[in-house]
Amino acid sequence: MNIGIIYSTEKRVIEKLVNGLKRGLEEQGNNVMLFPDNSTTFSGLASCRHIFVGSFITAAFKPKTPPRLRDALSKVPGISGKRSIAFIASGGLGARKALLVLMNDMEKQGCFIIDQKAFSSENDAYQFGKTIKLKDV
């Protein structure tokens, strides 16, 4: 199954989480395509059954989706109706609020949110990717 991961490139920790998640998903036999928020093209994303979107906590009290990631989500063709999973790098206050803000921005683009997760490490993301059961709908 094709899976796409759209993620923020502003923090190195997100790239580590993406690498762990990708390894875990590929061990299940999935084809994982990476789409950083600074990408000029999102070709291939329309063929993905599931989409993961990764961000970080911008502020503890009034978190926002990073502008570059929010802009990338608005430019992605064919994202509407995709089964989607939001994830962030946990670590401090505001994780729940940051996830809610990210999921809200994803829903504005038509994503169908099926799960959300705050990862504490690359290994945590890897374990999640290795064990998550995604339906081939």
DSSP 3-state of 30: coil
User: Which amino acid is located at 31 in the chain?
Assistant: N
Does the pTM exceed 0.75? yes
pLDDT at 75: 86
Residues belonging to the chain: 137
Q: If we measure between CA atoms, which residue out of 22, 17, 86 comes closest to residue 51?
A: 86
Low-confidence ranges of the chain (pLDDT < 50): none
pLDDT value at residue 56: 87
Residue ranges of domains in the chain, CATH in brackets: 2-123 (3.40.50.360)
What is the per-residue pLDDT for 84?
96
If DSSP codes are grouped into helix, strand and coil, which group holds residue 12?
helix
pLDDT, residue 28, reads 93
Closest Cα partner for 45 from 13, 81, 92? 81
Q: Which two tokens stand for residue 110?
A: 């038509």
Q: In this structure, what token pair is assigned to residue 69? A: 């990631």
pLDDT at 55: 92
